[in-house]
Structure 1
């Protein structure tokens, strides 16, 4: 099989009458899924002129339709980009322009996507609305099966991730990256065709696709797809469908724990509960232990499609705080500034080499060369390994925080606030938050005579950034602490927050 488009065809041959997806009251067999992706692929080619290498974007909820667009695009050898539905029109517009997207699928619930096509540099030729228009498109389509036109090392997906430059950059994930990730996940979790999962993570994040959605198609399992996260709906689906695998980020697990009458839900069908995106609180570990559900913590990155390491259920308490050990087929190193391996117990930068490591950043050759120098992906994460190979991260990527499972890079927030009239300088750091894990806090230096308030800054950023990126607090200070070379000392700002909290 050359590309992931072949997965749909092969699954239709091997598991045609088996239910592949359930969403609400509707279900799709693997044969129906392949038939619909063939129809959509033919329409994309014949009606919209989509060819190999073209970029197709989507602002749609987690849905079977999202997967149909992905697999139809893959059959054509085109490139799919799911865009975060929580982004504002200018943010979506930037992605569309940077990507050079020619076709955009949208869902009516996200009106900002329509405004985004009017942003500077956007060249989208056609916009297709999910719902009646999408259904009519398929109804009028040629059902002829399509042979996948993609090669293994062609780019299948470009997933945008925020960068330290303050602008998102597209991680180019190939068909082989997705296959290698699916194989690694299948091996790590022992996935079988009889397994059932509930997908509540958004598919515009690599975690929503790479864990477990694509691996389940790879092995022929059943996937219950939720358009948005609702803890009661997830619990109902686990019980009704007898789910065997469940992935949620820590904030979702905490929401599950807050459901009234939780003890009445029988979770015994679960062979594995998995969290990723941030370390799980002890309260979540205790809850799952009481439920008798084996619990694991995964660590991954967009650039690794996303799997890197796993903390297995046998060590989840003993090695609490660790990201675990690399999955089978994935190599890691911890190195110093000269890329020399550091001994156990010594802090170094985490490097990854594997078939699931991305091909580079879209239209950013210099950043690609830097990130993949020496044949290893330099993650920017600093960590140490113990004598058994368990890795503990001591600091995340520069200036990154995780809020409710969403990655937020402070530089992106700083760039927006710096554009506000009256702002002289700004630095953004993470603050602990009981519900979201972390949220951004902005330290602002005002121009002389400027009468800015916290509400002013928050309102300004809210118009330009997704809600999870908006600072929950703004502090005004006379000057930012800097080193002798003028670099902002963010550790000093974090220490200030800790002092104020205590």
Structure 2
């Protein structure tokens, strides 16, 4: 039996014990030290009553303890449930109850959430506090490790066993727990290594949140699988990120488009030496071409990718040499993943036509936790039905047109917001933009653009926007309404919350 991902650390600690595996702030952990700490945590979990299949909740910022908890769960067959640290007490309570977690690890900076939760969720057996401060009544993480054995846990864990449950973003309705296996994570790592030049010399910075599949599985777990180094940072800001890139000589970086945009717009970026960056990818949402052009001009290779929580996550990668030539595409699927584009009858559509993207491979999740009907709708004959509208060109490059729910139908014509957004991003005074439909008595729906400006002192009008779009978009795709805002509402992974925009009062609308 091929062992689960907990075996990665043992293998690397045997072969390259003194190689640095994790860096967090001023703490550096070799593979030997990391494996030792993970073993201690795994054995401590067992002493606290955790058994194979039990869920362990973790409300932690990006720090070494979160990765240690993930691998500790992997070694004993438990399931880690990383939770978005930006959620409210009510939202965290829902995830803890839904997952049935019996342990709750929390960052001391988030103790108010833990205190609120303690009164509501009696099923949690133990609360474990993570951080430097050791005051309080809960078990302290480092004390727990100090009292536990560092012996290698002896459990039969294979690739088909579950090891992590990621809750989807929940931009509409309640989030769903996508159950991922050891095999999902390992095959994703193999796919990533096949697509990108990751090796033992790779130093990746993980500042995208680890509770999100992109932060956890784009470069973090593949780099550890390969024996490289992961630098963790718990808060994103452009200057701090640039400081770390220069100091640690980061070679690989995954960010969502909003983060790349913030770095691009940082006024002192040219003062930083970022020549070490050789592997950079944007994912989580469409990346404006202006961002790609900016970094390409600075000889920073730029990739774009597409993935989902349910696919662990990589579905397609657009390599740097095609990032401008095939702008708008997310590339091609990796070697161990299949894709199809199908019509409502689940028949493949011709090249160039739009349909629903479906995905198959060893990276596809097992199920939605406690949601058998939604699982049945999502997975059919091994194919995952993504809910994304897509098309392929003659060269096989994949284009995500939009989410099925976001498509605008105006006068019988389909409008895909991404297409309009990419045009508007080129306007010199538009910092960020989201396009959505609004009710129209004549056309059913019409196109609206919600815009945040670079310079609010120079407002733009609807007439300016329409003139800018002429010749670039068909007339029915050009916005008939705009709204100016200070910034777009986003979830913790950088995705624009269009449900919030749709529900807002449009006091600033210009018609």
| TM-score between both structures, scaled by the size of structure 1 | 0.80
1:8-37 deviation digits (Å, cap 9, x = unpaired): 111111221100111111100000000000
Shift in alpha-carbon separation, 1:325–1:432, aligned structure 2, 3 A: farther
Distance in 2 of aligned mates of 1:335 and 1:349 = 5
How far 1:432 sits from its partner (Å)?
3.7
1:296-324 deviation digits (Å, cap 9, x = unpaired): 10100000011000111111111111111
Residues 210 and 305 of structure 1 are in contact (CA less than 8 Å); yes or no, is this contact kept in structure 2? yes
DSSP 3-state at the match of 1:13: helix
Match of 2:127 in 1: 127
Match of 2:9 in 1: 8
Match of 1:113 in 2: 114
DSSP 3-state at the match of 2:218: helix
Shift in alpha-carbon separation, 1:159–1:392, aligned structure 2, 3 A: same
Residues 3 and 148 of structure 1 are in contact (CA less than 8 Å); yes or no, is this contact kept in structure 2? no
Question: Pick from 203, 212, 232: which aligns with 1:205?
Answer: 212
Residues 42 and 73 of structure 2 are in contact (CA less than 8 Å); yes or no, is this contact kept in structure 1? yes
Residues 215 and 254 of structure 2 are in contact (CA less than 8 Å); yes or no, is this contact kept in structure 1? no
DSSP 3-state at the match of 1:86: coil
Distance in 1 of aligned mates of 2:255 and 2:33 = 28
Shift in alpha-carbon separation, 1:165–1:271, aligned structure 2, 3 A: closer
DSSP 3-state at the match of 1:198: strand
Question: What pairs with 1:304-453 in structure 2 (closer than 5 Å)?
Answer: 304-399=311-406, 432-434=450-452
Distance in 1 of aligned mates of 2:85 and 2:170 = 19
Q: Which stretch has the larger CA shift, 33-42 or 15-24? A: 15-24
1:432-486 deviation digits (Å, cap 9, x = unpaired): 44389xxxxxxxxxxxxxxxxxxxxxxxx99xxx998693685569xxxxxxxxx
1:378-405 deviation digits (Å, cap 9, x = unpaired): 0010111111111112221535999xxx
Distance in 1 of aligned mates of 2:53 and 2:453 = 42
Distance in 1 of aligned mates of 2:127 and 2:406 = 36
Query: Does residue 99 of the first structure (1) align with residue 99 of the second (2)?
Result: yes
Match of 1:480 in 2: none
DSSP 3-state at the match of 2:33: helix
1:72-120 deviation digits (Å, cap 9, x = unpaired): 111110100000000000000000111011000011212223312433x
Match of 2:285 in 1: 278
How far 1:431 sits from its partner (Å)?
5.6
Residues 293 and 324 of structure 2 are in contact (CA less than 8 Å); yes or no, is this contact kept in structure 1? no
Residues 217 and 312 of structure 2 are in contact (CA less than 8 Å); yes or no, is this contact kept in structure 1? yes
Question: Pick from 296, 302, 305: which aligns with 2:309?
Answer: 302
1:245-276 deviation digits (Å, cap 9, x = unpaired): 11111111121123332112111111122111
Shift in alpha-carbon separation, 1:435–1:351, aligned structure 2, 3 A: farther
Distance in 2 of aligned mates of 1:383 and 1:25 = 44
- Number of aligned residues: 431
Question: What pairs with 1:52-201 in structure 2 (closer than 5 Å)?
Answer: 52-110=52-110, 111-119=112-120, 123-131=123-131, 132=134, 133-162=140-169, 166-201=173-208
Match of 2:248 in 1: 241
Match of 2:46 in 1: 45
How far 1:348 sits from its partner (Å)?
0.9
Residues 100 and 122 of structure 1 are in contact (CA less than 8 Å); yes or no, is this contact kept in structure 2? no
How far 1:148 sits from its partner (Å)?
4.1
1:51-88 deviation digits (Å, cap 9, x = unpaired): 00100001000111000011111111010000000000
Match of 1:218 in 2: 225
| TM-score between both structures, scaled by the size of structure 2 | 0.79
Distance in 1 of aligned mates of 2:23 and 2:285 = 28
